[in-house]
Amino acid sequence: MESRSGFEPRREVEKRTDDELIERVVSGDQKAWTELQERYQDRLTLYVRKFLKKNEDADEVVNESFYRASTHLEGFKLGVPFWNWLVRLARNIAYDRLRYNQYRSQVQPFAHLEDVAGTVEGDPEAAFAQREMHDRLMDALGELTESLRDAYVLVEIEELSSKDAADRLGIPESTMRVRVYRAKEKLRGLLSDLELGYKEAA
C-alpha cells in the first residue's frame, strides 16, 4: 500500500543473526563486527564485573575478549551460540586477570587450605616453589564446575560476603554457602598432596 506521498512506507530492517554477522565479518565487513560487538557489549560487561572488583579491570577483560574473538572468527563454527563461545573466552581471561592480580598483590586466596604455600620472603627457590604451587591451585580451580567456581571466586578471592555474592549471581544466600563449601571440599580433594606435604613439613 502506498502512502499519500506516493512512496511505499519503509519496512523495518530485519535483525541479522549472529551467524550472518560473523560470515560478513570474515568476509571483511567491519560494520558487521561493530554491530555484533554492540549487541553483546553491555551484557558481557555485566557478566565480567561479577568476578572483578575494579571496573577498569573488567573493561580491559571485555576489550581483550572482543579482540581475541575478532581474531579467531575464521575458525568459529557456525551454529554454535556466539554468546556461549564469547562468555567462555571472557571467563578464561578474567581468571587470568585474577591470577595476575594475586601474584602482584601477594594475596593468598586459598588460606582455608592451611597456607600450603608458606612464607618465602628472601628465598628465591622457595618463591619459585610457591608460584608453582599457586599454579596448581589455580588449575584446580579450573576443575570445578562453573557454578562452584563462580561462587568460590566471588567469596574467597573477591572477598564478597555470601549475601553480596548471592545477589550478584541471583541465587539464595543459603545456596551460595553450600556452593562455596562444596568448592572448598572439591579443592581439598584435588590438592590433597599439597596439604599432605605441608603437614609433613610442619
Please give the pLDDT value at position 41. Answer: 93
Q: Quick check: 33 and 70 in contact, CB under 8 A?
A: yes
- pLDDT of 160 > 90? The answer is no
Rounded to whole angstroms, how far apart are CA atoms 62 and 46? 10
User: In degrees rounded to 5, what are phi and psi of residue 195?
Assistant: -65, -40
Rounded to whole angstroms, how far apart are CA atoms 53 and 70? 26
- pLDDT of 22 > 80? The answer is yes
Rounded to whole angstroms, how far apart are CA atoms 193 and 178? 25
Tens digit of each residue's pLDDT (9 = 90 or more) over 137-151: 777 877 888 888 888
Please give the pLDDT value at position 35. Answer: 94
- pLDDT of 115 > 70? The answer is no
Please tell me which of 4-8, 33-37, 90-94, 166-170 the model is most confident about, judged by mean pLDDT: 33-37
What CATH number is given for 11-105 in this structure? 1.10.1740.10
Please give the pLDDT value at position 199. Answer: 36
Would you state the cell numbers that stand for residue 62, as one nine-digit string?
A: 571485555
Please give the pLDDT value at position 111. Answer: 45
What CATH number is given for 109-202 in this structure? 1.10.10.10
Please tell me the total number of residues recorded for the chain in this structure.
202
pTM of the entire predicted model: 0.52
Comparison of pLDDT for 129 and 110, the residue scoring more: 129
List every span in the chain annotated with CATH 1.10.1740.10. Answer: 11-105
Q: Residue 62 — very low, low, confident or very high, per pLDDT cuts 50/70/90?
A: very high
List every span in the chain annotated with CATH 1.10.10.10. Answer: 109-202
